[in-house]
Structure 1
Amino acid sequence: MTEVMTGQSFADLGLPPVVLKQLEKMNFTVPTPIQEQAIPALMAGKNVLGEAQTGTGKTAAFGLPGLSLLDPKLRKTQMLVVAPTRELAMQVAKAIAEFGQQARGVEVTTVYGGSPFPPQIKALRGGAQIVVGTPGRLLDLLKKGVLDLSALRLAVLDEADEMLNMGFIEDIETIMSSVPPSSMRALFSATMPPAIRKLAKTFLVNEAGEQPVNIQIAAQPQTKASIRQRAWQVRGLTKLTALTRLLETMEYQRVLIFVRTRSDTMEVTEQLQAAGFKASPLSGDLNQTQREQTVSQLRSGKIEILVATDVVARGLDVPEITHVVNYDLPGDTESYVHRIGRTGRAGRSGEAILFYRAKEKHLLRHYERLTNGTIEFFEVPDAKQLSAHRQTKLQEQIQQYVAGQDLTALTTIIERIQSQTELSPLQIAAALLAQQNSVRPLIVSEDPAPRKFAERAERPERSDRSARANRTERAPREGRDSRDANIDFDTYRIKVGREHGARPQDIVGAIANEGEIDSRYIGQIQLFDSHSLVELPKGLPTAVLKILQRARVRQTQMDITLADEAITRRPRGDKPARGERPAFKGAPRSAGGPRSKDGRADKGRSRRFQ
């Protein structure tokens, strides 16, 4: 919850004693601005349109009045919260459950894709009054007739702009169309692109034609004033080498490192642990108990460095975090603000470090505007500076040992070695130093000279000619920045198509949720009857592919494979259906188009989903 508070107390907002008692137990005494305005409006039965950034206390703004208005004795769904990701859904559900600990008989359940249906269906049929879920799974449960909204009193869309980014807008419209007209509605979003404003205009006007209460909470740039922002352009050194050098040479208490995928969290963590750092991953592979243990270890100091993805780090509040490292830049500028907000907490100062490639430099201007700050450019310590740092640290350690410990016994050993071998003390000291030098060199080899296009050096890339051939022009999705035109894609085939009821937004949502891949990095999608083709970044980690192979779209497993492999296995004489395009530019004509199970050509049409 943000530190910006108002002059009122929660008792002034009309909340019932059972809720106030729990807030007092949690040491929540003064509401934030969004809570001060949203809670009375919802308690009075009005719809709410809230525009507020992450960290302003939105969950309590709708969770507290929702708890206050439901009937614990009625075993039906009375409050519905729609969240873009399962991680956020779990976080919201946990917060509401904590707010409602004093209210007997109130049950909160979470429903999301990638998890078995039976336990979720059992919870709904058991009469959970509060349901928090992701759009795809909520829609599936509605179609199955399991999610009954006839008794619904409050429907909430949380992080609506993020749901738009992930392609859930049609699912949201379908869900909101199932909400009874008499129910209250609330929509919260950090930004208000046209599609979200249209959604608000359609669903937030009540039965009497009354417009929603519009609450706008301005961002608080002064809360970021204590955060220093610095950027290093990736060149010459790999990002991992640069990261280890920074961690070795800078003074920090706790560090939070943001990467793109959960497989990246493991890879970076393993490398840091091998280099001697106390690091741990925080990803969707960990269950809730494991995540809580990891955060607890970070607070206690058993872990000093946390490597995480955007989704699971949402809401992370550890005041001891002094540095945030953007190892991979986020897919949108709002996520950057959320990331750096993890440091500089509770009035402390913090530092945000960015690793960017030349083609990403334009993003820095957006970050500066959003944070009302300045990003400084810096260079990672070179080999000479790193050598000097290690030698200085060694000298300090030797001085501390001499000053703080009794070295008489060790001095005797040195004297005996000298007398028996006729070695000088300097030679003995140098020999002992050589052992340490073999573990961590005190004289680091010279850095390689920066190469042209050095940003491509960390992983093998296709040739420029091939990249141009396989790259297709992409239009920006409404309400967000366009994708980086320099991203190289591979085309993948998934065994889900129109006959399974799949739509592009279903595919985007599944890949974004399960693979933790920002929708910015999901390219063109082509739908066919029995399968689909989707572009994903070249060099996708094996661990991510394994996760996506098990992921489901419309209850059908993706079973994802590289499209060019699938194409080469087709009979040579196959021809594409009329109007069908090849899987990607440059595909041989003789490869033909996709085929259905009975051997007939799939009647597919190419669709771009941006």
Structure 2
Amino acid sequence: MSKDYLSVMPEDFSDFGLSQPILKAIDQSGYTEPTPIQTQMIPSVMEGRDVIGQAQTGTGKTAAFALPLLNGLRQKKKASPQILVLAPTRELALQVADSFKKYGTYINNLKVLAIYGGEEYSGQLRQLSKGVNIVVGTPGRVMDHIRRGSLKLDTIQSFILDEADEMLKMGFLEDVEWILEQAPQQKQIALFSATMPSSIRRIAATHLHDPVEITIRSKTATASTINQKFLITNGMNAKKEALGRILEVSETDGVLTFVRTKMQTVELAEFLTELGYQAAPLNGDIPQNQRLRTVEQLKSGKIDILVATDVAARGLDVERVSHVINFDIPFDTESYIHRIGRTGRAGRTGEAILLLAPREKSMLKSIERASRRKIEMMHMPSVNEVNKKRIEAYKSRITKTLTEDCSFFDDLIRDYCSETEASVEQVAAALAKLVQGNSPMLLEEKKYERREKRERKQPVGGRNNRRSSGRSDEGMERYRIAVGESHGVKPGNIVGAIANEVDMDSEYIGRISIYDEYSTVDLPAGMPRQLMKVLHNARINGRMMKLSREGEKSSGSERFGNRKNGGKPRRSNPKTSRKPRTASAV
């Protein structure tokens, strides 16, 4: 059974027949009217139906299943797990658990527990032994507790798979199926996914009974509240310059800046801190308790900018996020949708800015097709714009200080002017210079113009005919594949195989160098594990690629390289060519 949103939404949540404690919590949360997915899903879940929800982040899907499930919760003397929610990341698990707690504020003795990796078992074991009504967890940690016997599923009535496509990308699908098999056969299942690949469809067909399918056809339900722009930049330094200028001329509150790698989160956060911003990194290598503190600091205003990877920010929901800045373009359109969904939520407006290298413009077209919205081009804020903002900010500081008690300094300046015969204007200027210190207040127009001219002379993009012994371009990593010249491989074979296997635009494929027994190719840094696994097993000219990062062993016992010539490129025939056998991916 399939439903598409066509009817007029109810005026308020009371139309669903939810209990008064839940309606009171909804009212306290500030919700005024249901979203499309809530309108369609809440009645079906309340009827006990299995449901499939296909919708993007930011559409209100958490409330769509949390509200009706809370409404049907059966309270017992000792709480036992009745609702189990699987989420792909710790951040999303925490967000969903917090939502259940918020919506269940006025339900007596409600106990919600989030269980996830990166945290000691002792606290989770203690809470499970005391009894909980709702468990929200990541697949790996849920499996561990089931095997320990600390989490029993025999009382589970409702099973939620949240962001199933993301669990697929992260390699959790087998774990999800194993957990489903441990739960009672008689249970209600709700599956949510932004996309519906065949493997997710197979799970739905196997485990769901006559499900109601609800599709929110608009790819970006929050797009109307998000002002999207892009800026063309060239090189890491230009990106940093652009980011600094954008932040200076924009009226921001909380800002999320997305990068591809964990290392970049630290480097960019340090760069922003040097510019005077309260910035912090957020990545998977940071201890969980520190990550939670960092998010709380963003919520409270102690930190204004988080520099994050996609996985670390998954499920992050902070009301004060006014801007999402894509410092690095994501690998796919779905990731972009998830990123910008961190702002412009629940009716609030937000800004989404994408920094693009010239060679990445084709990806922009894909994003526009997926979001069904034209993304406006913006220009680098000029030196005059930045300086105007700096002067305005300085004047504002003066105005704010004048509202405070300055009587002591007023007398001091009068005495000084009387003693030295200096004018008040001269003293004010001297004090302003004293406060500013040696750091210049204004950007220098000529200095910046010279730097721009130098950058424009650099080659656009990352693909040229330099030897592979050189370093990869910024944002790229070098990979080895176990096919080379002796196997008849050509650059076009490599480009075609990669582009077709993982649906990667050729613009993302960098330098290719072909050796006797293997080849190297530059690909975007920080590729997901699932993509690497697909490429490892893909074939070129009938041979497995066995893709691995340069310098690492493949997943098999073979180390890439030609033992006869020490892994060096075979020399070209000097009579025919002096150029090495390297090629562009173009």
TM-score clears 0.5: yes
For residues 265-280 of structure 1, the aligned pairs below 5 Å read: 265-280=265-280
* 1:386 and 2:383 matched: yes
Provide the rounded CA distance (Å) in 2 between the counterparts of 1:166 and 1:486. 22
Q: 2:455 aligns with which of 449, 452, 457?
A: 449
Deviation at 1:397, TM superposition (A): 5.5
The one-letter code sitting in structure 1 at the alignment partner of 2:331 is G
> Could you say if the C-alpha distance between residues 54 and 464 of structure 1 is closer, same or farther in structure 2, counting changes exceeding 3 Å?
same
Task: Name the residue aligned to 1:329.
Answer: 329
Q: Give unpaired runs (5+ residues) of structure 2.
A: 1-6, 483-493, 513-524, 538-545, 568-586
Between the two proteins, the alignment pairs up a number of residues equal to 500
* 1:260 and 2:254 matched: no
Task: Name the residue aligned to 1:32.
Answer: 35
SS at match of 1:260: coil
SS at match of 1:55: coil
Is contact 2:220-2:337 (8 Å) kept?
no
Task: Name the residue aligned to 1:88.
Answer: 92
Deviation at 1:212, TM superposition (A): 0.8
For residues 92-491 of structure 1, the aligned pairs below 5 Å read: 92-205=96-209, 211-219=210-218, 223-225=222-224, 227-235=226-234, 237-283=237-283, 285=286, 287=289, 290-291=293-294, 293-298=296-301, 303-314=303-314, 316=316, 321-344=321-344, 350-381=350-381, 385-386=382-383, 389-390=386-387, 393-394=390-391, 438-439=439-440, 442-443=443-444, 445=447, 446-447=450-451, 448-453=454-459, 463=469, 470-471=480-481, 486=509
Is contact 1:84-1:159 (8 Å) kept?
yes
Provide the rounded CA distance (Å) in 2 between the counterparts of 1:267 and 1:5. 48
The one-letter code sitting in structure 1 at the alignment partner of 2:308 is A
Provide the rounded CA distance (Å) in 2 between the counterparts of 1:29 and 1:331. 36
Q: 1:57 aligns with which of 57, 60, 71?
A: 60
The one-letter code sitting in structure 2 at the alignment partner of 1:216 is T
SS at match of 2:155: coil
Q: Deviations over 1:253-302 (max 9, x none)?
A: 5533222345433322221121123434455536375245323333xxx5
Provide the rounded CA distance (Å) in 2 between the counterparts of 1:477 and 1:81. 34
Is contact 2:91-2:316 (8 Å) kept?
no
TM-score between both structures, scaled by the size of structure 2: 0.71
Deviation at 1:40, TM superposition (A): 2.2
Bigger drift between 317-326 and 163-172 goes to 317-326
The one-letter code sitting in structure 1 at the alignment partner of 2:214 is I
Provide the rounded CA distance (Å) in 1 between the counterparts of 2:396 and 2:21. 61
SS at match of 1:110: strand
Provide the rounded CA distance (Å) in 2 between the counterparts of 1:399 and 1:92. 41
Q: 1:563 aligns with which of 544, 552, 555?
A: 552
Bigger drift between 247-256 and 36-45 goes to 247-256
Q: What is the aligned-residue identity percentage?
A: 39
> Could you say if the C-alpha distance between residues 591 and 107 of structure 1 is closer, same or farther in structure 2, counting changes exceeding 3 Å?
farther
Is contact 2:54-2:196 (8 Å) kept?
yes
Is contact 1:359-1:486 (8 Å) kept?
no
Provide the rounded CA distance (Å) in 2 between the counterparts of 1:469 and 1:83. 31
Provide the rounded CA distance (Å) in 2 between the counterparts of 1:84 and 1:436. 49
> Could you say if the C-alpha distance between residues 97 and 588 of structure 1 is closer, same or farther in structure 2, counting changes exceeding 3 Å?
farther
SS at match of 1:162: helix
Provide the rounded CA distance (Å) in 2 between the counterparts of 1:310 and 1:290. 18
Q: Give unpaired runs (5+ residues) of structure 1.
A: 206-210, 418-424, 490-514, 528-532, 539-561, 568-575, 593-610
* 1:41 and 2:44 matched: yes
The one-letter code sitting in structure 1 at the alignment partner of 2:181 is S
SS at match of 1:172: helix
Deviation at 1:26, TM superposition (A): 3.4
Deviation at 1:83, TM superposition (A): 0.7
Provide the rounded CA distance (Å) in 2 between the counterparts of 1:465 and 1:321. 37
Deviation at 1:354, TM superposition (A): 1.2
SS at match of 1:218: coil
Q: Deviations over 1:467-526 (max 9, x none)?
A: 88725756579897579752689xxxxxxxxxxxxxxxxxxxxxxxxx997447756797
Is contact 1:471-1:488 (8 Å) kept?
no
Deviation at 1:177, TM superposition (A): 2.0
> Could you say if the C-alpha distance between residues 226 and 124 of structure 1 is closer, same or farther in structure 2, counting changes exceeding 3 Å?
closer
SS at match of 2:456: coil
SS at match of 1:50: strand
Provide the rounded CA distance (Å) in 2 between the counterparts of 1:410 and 1:249. 37
Deviation at 1:326, TM superposition (A): 0.5
Q: Deviations over 1:193-234 (max 9, x none)?
A: 2221121111112xxxxx111111232758424544332333
> Could you say if the C-alpha distance between residues 134 and 411 of structure 1 is closer, same or farther in structure 2, counting changes exceeding 3 Å?
same
Is contact 2:219-2:370 (8 Å) kept?
no
* 1:582 and 2:553 matched: no
Is contact 2:37-2:64 (8 Å) kept?
yes
The one-letter code sitting in structure 1 at the alignment partner of 2:146 is L
Q: Deviations over 1:419-464 (max 9, x none)?
A: xxxxxx9xx99x969985654564252212324445569xx99646
Is contact 1:235-1:451 (8 Å) kept?
no
Provide the rounded CA distance (Å) in 1 between the counterparts of 2:116 and 2:273. 33
Provide the rounded CA distance (Å) in 2 between the counterparts of 1:162 and 1:242. 31
Is contact 1:230-1:354 (8 Å) kept?
yes
The one-letter code sitting in structure 1 at the alignment partner of 2:50 is N
> Could you say if the C-alpha distance between residues 319 and 113 of structure 1 is closer, same or farther in structure 2, counting changes exceeding 3 Å?
closer
Provide the rounded CA distance (Å) in 1 between the counterparts of 2:175 and 2:129. 22
Provide the rounded CA distance (Å) in 2 between the counterparts of 1:80 and 1:226. 32
The one-letter code sitting in structure 1 at the alignment partner of 2:144 is D
The one-letter code sitting in structure 2 at the alignment partner of 1:165 is K
The one-letter code sitting in structure 2 at the alignment partner of 1:231 is F
Is contact 2:91-2:315 (8 Å) kept?
no
Is contact 1:5-1:30 (8 Å) kept?
no
The one-letter code sitting in structure 2 at the alignment partner of 1:94 is D
Is contact 1:13-1:40 (8 Å) kept?
yes
TM-score between both structures, scaled by the size of structure 1: 0.68
The one-letter code sitting in structure 2 at the alignment partner of 1:214 is E
> Could you say if the C-alpha distance between residues 297 and 401 of structure 1 is closer, same or farther in structure 2, counting changes exceeding 3 Å?
closer
Deviation at 1:174, TM superposition (A): 1.7
> Could you say if the C-alpha distance between residues 222 and 146 of structure 1 is closer, same or farther in structure 2, counting changes exceeding 3 Å?
closer
The one-letter code sitting in structure 1 at the alignment partner of 2:456 is P
Is contact 1:47-1:204 (8 Å) kept?
yes
Bigger drift between 238-247 and 148-157 goes to 238-247
> Could you say if the C-alpha distance between residues 520 and 225 of structure 1 is closer, same or farther in structure 2, counting changes exceeding 3 Å?
farther
Root-mean-square deviation (CA, aligned residues, Å) is 4.6
> Could you say if the C-alpha distance between residues 103 and 563 of structure 1 is closer, same or farther in structure 2, counting changes exceeding 3 Å?
same
